[in-house]
Amino acid sequence: MKILITGSAGFIGAALAQRCLQRGDEIIGLDNHNSYYDITLKEARLSLFSNHSNYEHYQIDLTNFKEIEKVFNKHKPQRVIHMAAQAGVRYSLENPMSYINSNLVGFANILESCKNNYVEHLVYASSSSVYGSNTSMPYSVRQNVDHPISLYAATKKSNELMAHSYSHLYKIPTTGLRFFTVYGPWDRPDMALQKFTHQIIKGQNIKIFNHGNHKRDFTYIDDIVEGVIRVLDKVATSNPDWNSDFPDSSTSNAPWRIYNIGNTQPIKLMNYIEAIEKALKKKANKQLLPIQQGDVPNTWANVEELKREFNYQPNTTIEEGINKFVEWFRDYYKI
């Protein structure tokens, strides 16, 4: 297929581009190369596939509708994987307009381009952060998600609603995937795994918020990619049994779907750190701190719908995933 991937220089986007190229798809990559974190890491990810004969790259900001439309008009992608966004819960407290521009205006531009170019299926990144104030575990796509506790989460919830309106009005099949704490080789420097690994190696204190009582449904990048590809290949359809008297919040009478994608086995943050220590063969200097604004204490994905409809089954243990990450980390940073 001909697939347009936004955020193709990003952590998940680059991994998806590689996988699609390996199976013979033609990829149009789009990324703005912003300086939220080290641009050289983004360029290094791109170098893994940018010379591939089936890959063409464009450095464009999501807010530039005219340039995005040019790419869509030129290539006429059959399907779109939208991974580009301003990421990070904590950064949304410092720079909220970045989230409004990238995650709302940018997503609207992608929806308009999909509408104007008759895209067969749009798959886009949502987030486990949409569950916000929910405390019932595991998180289910059938739960209400009207109480986000960060602007980042609010923009991801908004993306789901915006997608529904386009699915309803223009019959564009859209699927939103709520990612649960993705980790692995080539991840972002602002994420806990890279930060902790750098700091442990240097003998610096690692800041552990919520006094280490967090639990996270850490999901390895390969398991995420497998899930996204399976969803991409099966175009979203309407639910013929959808009933407005008893509405299912993950489906619709429009071709619109929402799924959780996670490992389904939440891990205590302290156990996660222990796995990093074991892989590095070095103990961490721990600094315990209160929970930060915008953080949810725990995450745990119910992925029954993804298992049932796509035969999805994550199979990478924390130990395996962190060992693979540390191997990459030492190689990339020459440690």
| Catalytic machinery residues | 152
Peptide bond into 138 cis (omega under 30): yes
Contacts of 234 (CB under 8 A, 6+ apart): 309, 310
Enter the DSSP assignment of 262: S
44 burial (CB, 10 Å; 0-12 / 13-18 / 19+) is middle
Contact between 221 and 12 under an 8 Å Cβ cutoff? The reply is yes
**Using CA atoms, how far apart are residues 216 and 214, in angstroms rounded to an integer?**
7
Report which residue type is found at 199: Q
The Cβ-side half-sphere exposure at 69, using a 13 Å CA radius, reads 9
Round the CA-based radius of gyration of the chain to a whole number and report it.
19
Contact between 70 and 31 under an 8 Å Cβ cutoff? The reply is no
Shortest CA distance to 250 belongs to which of 237, 264, 265, 268?
237
**Using CA atoms, how far apart are residues 251 and 299, in angstroms rounded to an integer?**
22
DSSP secondary structure of 304-323 = HHHHHHH-------HHHHHH
